[in-house]
Amino acid sequence: MRPSLCGDVRFLRLASQLKPKEKVYTDSALSELHALRESQVREEIATRLRRVCGNFSQEDFDRLVQKMAERQLRDERRLVW
């Protein structure tokens, strides 16, 4: 019995919506570069936000900087890959 065309199309549509897995490199030199870039990004973001987020607790401020840095780095890596 042959599968219906609608089922095939539906599966392809669902499969195309899946996000590709992010690449993970284990090379230590590349890991060091990523760590260096992460610290640079976090420092830049913290410097810019410190003026406008003066009323944040240190924990909240660090959490915000971390989340923003993670998103920026993820997007930068997507552009490169």
- Whether residue 54 is predicted with pLDDT greater than 50 in this model: the reply is yes
Residues 61 and 49: beta-carbon distance below 8 Å: yes
**Within a domain: residue 81?**
yes
Q: What is the predicted pLDDT for the residue at 5?
A: 47
Q: What is the predicted pLDDT for the residue at 70?
A: 93
Structurally, the chain folds into a number of domains equal to 1
C-beta neighbour count of 4 within 10 angstroms: 9
**Within a domain: residue 49?**
yes
Residue appearing with tokens 């830049």: 44
Percentage of residues in the chain having pLDDT higher than 70: 65
Query: Quick one: which of 64, 72, 62 has its CA closest to 38?
Result: 72
Q: What is the predicted pLDDT for the residue at 69?
A: 95
Domain that holds residue 81: 36-81
User: Higher pLDDT residue, 4 or 26?
Assistant: 26
> From CA 16, how far away is CA 38, in angstroms rounded?
31
**Within a domain: residue 31?**
no
Average predicted confidence (pLDDT) for the chain: 77
